[in-house]
Amino acid sequence: MSKRILLKGGQVVGGPRVPADVLIENDIIAAIGPSIDAADAEIIDVAGMLVAPGFVDTHRHIWQTSIRGVAADWSLVEYIRFIRLGYATAYRPEDVWISTYAGALEALDAGITTICDFCHIMRTPEHADAGIEGLDRSGIRGQFYYGFYDVPSEPRSFLDHDARVRHARQFFDARFRARPASALVTMGVALTEFNLIPVAHTADEIAVARDFDIPLTMHMGTLSTPDSVARLAQAGLLGPRMLHVHCNASSDDELKAIADSGGALSITPETELQMGMGIPVTNRALAVGLRPTLGIDIVSDYSGDMFAQMRIALQTARAMDNQKVLDAGRMPPEIDLKVADVYDFATIDGARAIGLDTQVGSLAVGKQADIITVRQDGIHHAPRTADPLASLVLQVRPSDIDSVFVAGQARKRDGRLVGVDVAAVRERAQASSDHLAAAFAEAMQRTGQTATRATYGSELARATKGDVS
């Protein structure tokens, strides 16, 4: 017996300008149109609401949920010292599990139905297990990228790079091969930053992805390695199913090389602007035919909602375009980058970047039922924006999201997560946070440093610089 849900009378974003129904049958969208007759379906009245595909977050380190907000005033250099070489060294498997579970729930609550988890907190094999288990438990769709980055903590589980690669292969043998075809979370590989290891090691990491026929992702083109895309190409390692993250310092030729190689781009506007990584490459990427996609990156800095990233990406790109005209002494007569562009970055372009565009990223019959419904009855919608797309990108707040479905399963209804004891999750996340904060404070004291300008981690870490975020 199939399970049918009828979302009745909403405004389908990207659909006709009149109210329409969306019929969900099991995990797929069975019909979209006016006045669908489905007497046996559970009927959900969404009159006055927007009905849209869930967002696709193409870059997040979900493990940082437990250290929410600590990076509020940090540059990339401070971020590397305090988190990558600091807090990370104190993470236990249970911290990874609750961070991942709570972070994925936070994403669902904010209308993100697909997430790419760049999990580079693999201190031990148990850390890897905790990451995938937390993600699975949440009910979100996603890609779990096993991170090779060697967290500099003691005792060491992986004595050298070969040991790390061996574990990755064991992990994929045990965890990836055993996954049912219906699993919502698939797997990939997250490379160590290009400047931290020899090219031969990068090749070994890429070989794991190629051998298991899974995608890979990596941080690329920030100031310390502006030419990392070119170097990857020179080594014969640039190829398809590679999700390149940031690329602020990459040249236009390198961006084109990514497009030509069948690779994809994820930008994270808020970290890039704050931390001194450079201007998001939106305009330059579009000019060479490379569609940007959007990542939240880290809630250790700011909130995990896609609306903020859409708006920051959009207005930064517009500002860059406008400034060129202003510098010529003229007023910009019009604006090139549209709301629809950035909406696509957050939905269908994101889905395409990770090979899921035939399944998610837009509402169409036969696609997976990854759907959000969005209220427009708050005072901030008085009066309602006429253009549904303009409303969704520029007016809506995460708290307006009424319901979230992933593969036809309700993960949020009537503004509340379904089947989640939020108080218990909060309690566990707080305990994890308390542990990590205490470890951080202890290290500060031990090394005689002050809280915000410390070099915690430097005593634990090998010398490092660069392309890490």
Site map 410..449 versus Zn ion, x via CB under 5 A: ----------------------------------------
Of residues 211, 110, 112, the one with CA closest to residue 168: 211
8 A C-beta contact, residue 297 and residue 304: no
User: Is residue 217 at the binding interface for Zn ion, with CB under 5 A as the rule?
Assistant: no
CB of 379 to Zn ion, least distance (A): 36
CB of 244 to Zn ion, least distance (A): 11
CB of 468 to Zn ion, least distance (A): 8
CB of 397 to Zn ion, least distance (A): 25
Query: Other CB atoms closer than 10 Å to residue 47's CB: what's the count?
Result: 9
When the beta carbons of 8 and 84 are compared against Zn ion, the nearer one is: 84
Which segment (36-44, 365-373, 400-408, 461-469) binds Zn ion by CB under 5 A? Answer: 461-469
CB of 134 to Zn ion, least distance (A): 18
Tokens coding 392: 């969704």
Residue 36, classed as helix, strand or coil, is: coil
CB of 161 to Zn ion, least distance (A): 21
User: Is residue 469 at the binding interface for Zn ion, with CB under 5 A as the rule?
Assistant: yes
8 A C-beta contact, residue 98 and residue 432: yes
When the beta carbons of 228 and 469 are compared against Zn ion, the nearer one is: 469
Q: Show contacts of 305-310: CB within 8 Å, 24+ apart.
A: 305/110, 305/111, 305/398, 306/55, 306/57, 306/110, 306/111, 306/112, 306/346, 307/393, 307/396, 307/397, 307/398, 308/270, 309/268, 309/269, 309/270, 309/346, 310/342, 310/343, 310/345, 310/346, 310/393
CB of 117 to Zn ion, least distance (A): 11
Q: What are 10's strand-pairing partners? A: 20
User: Is residue 250 at the binding interface for Zn ion, with CB under 5 A as the rule?
Assistant: no
8 A C-beta contact, residue 449 and residue 103: no
User: Is residue 64 at the binding interface for Zn ion, with CB under 5 A as the rule?
Assistant: no
User: Is residue 65 at the binding interface for Zn ion, with CB under 5 A as the rule?
Assistant: no
CA distance 426 to 274: 28
Q: Give residue for tokens 């250290």.
A: 67
CB of 30 to Zn ion, least distance (A): 37
8 A C-beta contact, residue 462 and residue 196: no
CB of 353 to Zn ion, least distance (A): 15
CA distance 101 to 420: 11
Q: Is the dihedral of CA 20, 25, 27, 29 positive or negative?
A: negative
8 A C-beta contact, residue 18 and residue 58: no
Q: What are 142's strand-pairing partners? A: 115, 185
When the beta carbons of 84 and 411 are compared against Zn ion, the nearer one is: 84
User: Is residue 228 at the binding interface for Zn ion, with CB under 5 A as the rule?
Assistant: no
Distance (Å) of CA 336 to CA 315, 317, 333, 347, 390: 11, 10, 10, 20, 15
When the beta carbons of 249 and 339 are compared against Zn ion, the nearer one is: 249
- How many residues in the shown chain lie near Zn ion by CB under 5 A? 1
Using Cβ positions, the residue closest to Zn ion within the complex turns out to be 469
User: Is residue 293 at the binding interface for Zn ion, with CB under 5 A as the rule?
Assistant: no
User: Could you tell me the end-to-end alpha-carbon distance of the chain, in angstroms, rounded to an integer?
Assistant: 48
User: Is residue 266 at the binding interface for Zn ion, with CB under 5 A as the rule?
Assistant: no
CB of 25 to Zn ion, least distance (A): 37
When the beta carbons of 120 and 375 are compared against Zn ion, the nearer one is: 120
When the beta carbons of 376 and 469 are compared against Zn ion, the nearer one is: 469
The contact set with Zn ion (CB under 5 A) reads 469
